[in-house]
Structure 1
Amino acid sequence: MDTMPPRHAASAEPAPPAAVAASAREVAKVYGSGDTAVHALRGVSIDFPTGEFTAIMGPSGSGKSTLMHCLAGLDTPTSGTVRIGDIDLTDLGDKAMTELRRDRIGFVFQSFNLVPTLTARENITLPCDIAGRDVDTAWMDAVVTRLGLTDRLDHRPSELSGGQQQRVACARALVGRPAIIFGDEPTGNLDSRSSGEVLSILRAATDEFSQTVVIVTHDPRAASYADRVVFLADGRIVNELRHPDADGVFEVMRHLDDAVGPAGTDEGR
């Protein structure tokens, strides 16, 4: 773990703790039972401060996607608690969970998940339309302009490049002003140029729009855009870097196999 420099006696009082957009407490996730049980998460506790960009990394089978899915309400922990802001997801019914995901959470997936029969504009406003909420047109104009989509709004996904489709997905996540944006390998299907564009947009979502962003990625370059990188191995958090660069992330990833049990033991996924 990174350590902070020592405080001097004459330093100012520490700032109050930042608000937390999402958190997990002793979260475990087990698939199956008995000899076939797979322990995907093993007592994970973590906070995601408001207005911070976090990347989650780890070897294949480390539990990183399972953690994000539990945080986003797409999967249910076997034990422990998950909160979005002050809302405990543990006891939410299906209707309340659906409303929370719609109103408080934005998603950017590897596969874009755009509706092919809708224009870019209609895809962007779809969550608001489903919720019956008016779109804040000034905010949408600001987001669309920042993402360079102004002249592509009347095009359908098939008429857009991969990078443009992912920018539409980012706009859709931002326009509803969610409490937190989750990205599941958001650059996994993109070339290096489009990947850089999307990562810059997610970085801007934090820096310019004060959004909280959490992505799962296997790419050290993608992780270097974040404020911090959290590393998982075998269903546990094993390291963290703040103000990362790609070389530093790669160096930590090189040694993560040391934290993973030998073949045949329980592993996350």
Structure 2
Amino acid sequence: MTVDATGAAGTLGEVAVRAAGVWKVYGGGQTRVEALADVSADFGKGRFTAIMGPSGSGKSTLLHCLAGLDKPSDGQVFLGDVDLTKLPEKQLTHLRRDRIGFVFQAFNLVPTLTALENITLPLDLAGRKPDQDWLTTVIDTIGLTDRLSHKPAELSGGQQQRVACARALVSRPDVVFADEPTGNLDSRSSADVLAFLHRSVRDFHQTVVMVTHDPAAAAYADRVLFLADGTLESELVDPTAESVLDTMKQLEAAGAEHLAG
């Protein structure tokens, strides 16, 4: 299955990231596992896309390939017009630093740095000065102005993840990739983080691609792509938690029927 840039039938927007015939294979012979099998999908600029699927469906593997954290066994991944699969490791490292933002389940903040220092860390490592207006906008949006001098241990889980989101946005990357960003959070903190990601798309035209297992989280996205057994099975545009849950149930039922048959 090939999915277009926006998820809207017959409407192709400008593409931020594209997977073209992506395979990811581990092992060989009887131990061969196809984590991804011929996956093609476009992700439009200024869109919020969620990737879902049963455990082991390949959703995190796809995210890692799209973000240049892992190389496909076959196929191509493009960030804009750059083929990530052909870049030497040094160039790929620079591209990830300069054009990609990451938000992970485990926050990955530096414990010895303040919230503000964690937010500006990618720019500091690149030897770049932050755009002060943009930095102020991001800090105001995450609602932690009064906590910027605090270390991660002095922040709640939700606050830490909002700092991680701000860090991902501060360099104004082409795409922010989020891997289960609310997996360690309670429902209120999850809603805060998801609202921030949604607002970054709506108000700042950021592109966000998020892996999640939570139908309520996926409902914040513009569309949802569903994987099963390493293949792209279906998509939803303008999802609701109920429509996402129904689709997941159908995929799981189909998987159970396939195993039984």
**Alignment counterpart, residue 135 of structure 1, candidates 116, 125, 130:** 130
Paired AA for residue 219 in structure 2: S
Post-superposition offset of 1:259: 4.3
2:240 maps to 1:242: no
Aligned-partner Cα distance in 1 for 2:154–2:208: 28
* Equivalent residues of 1:65, 1:216 under 8 A apart: yes
The answer as to whether partners of 1:233 and 1:259 remain within 8 angstroms in 2 is no
Identity %: 62
Which residue identity does 2:137 align to in structure 1?
A
- 2:144 match: 149
Q: Which runs of 5+ in 1 are unaligned?
A: 6-13, 265-269
Distance in 1 (CA, whole Å) between partners of 2:44 and 2:129 is 28
Could you state the TM-score of these two structures normalised by the residue count of structure 1? Answer: 0.91
- What CA distance in whole angstroms lies between the structure 2 residues aligned with 1:192 and 1:257? 24
Distance in 2 (alpha carbons) for counterparts of 1:119 and 1:260: 46
2-structure distance, mates of 1:215, 1:31: 24
Q: Give distance in 2, aligned partners of 1:89 and 1:171.
A: 25
AA at the equivalent of 1:55: A
Q: CA deviation at 1:257?
A: 2.1
Partner residue, 1:57: 52
Q: What corresponds to 1:163 in structure 2?
A: 158
Aligned counterparts, 1:111-260, within 5 A? 111-260=106-255
CA contact (8 A) 1:108 1:173 kept: yes
Pick aligned residue for 2:30 from 10, 35, 41:
35
C-alpha change, 1:162 and 1:237, in structure 2 (3 Å) is same
Give how far 1:260 is off: 3.3
| 1:125-166 alpha-carbon deviations (Å, 9 max, x no partner) | 000000111111110001100110111110000000000000
Name structure 2 gaps, 5 residues minimum. Answer: none
- Between the aligned partners of 2:48 and 2:242, the Cα distance in structure 1 is 18
Instruction: Deviation per CA, 1:216-268: give whole Å up to 9, x if none.
Output: 0000000000000000001001010000000000000001124437559xxxx
TM-score by length of 2: 0.94
User: Which residue in 1 is equivalent to 2:93?
Assistant: 98
Which structure has the greater CA radius of gyration? 1
Does the CA-based 8 Å contact 1:238-1:259 persist in structure 2?
Answer: no
Q: SS state of the match for residue 221, structure 2?
A: coil
Distance 2:239 2:54 in 1: 18
Conservation of the 8 A alpha-carbon contact between 2:8 and 2:237? no
2:243 aligned counterpart, secondary structure:
helix
1:114 is paired with a residue whose SS is: coil
Name the CA distance, whole Å, in 2 between partners of 1:4 and 1:105: 25
Residue aligning to 1:8: none
Deviations along 1:197-233, whole A, 9 cap, x unmatched?
0000000010011000000000000000000000000
- The whole-number CA distance in structure 1 between the counterparts of 2:118 and 2:259 is 44
- Rounded to whole Å, the distance in 2 between the matches of 1:128 and 1:72 is 19
**Which one of 16, 20, 24 corresponds to residue 21 of structure 1?**
16
Q: In 2, distance between residues paired with 1:149 and 1:20?
A: 32
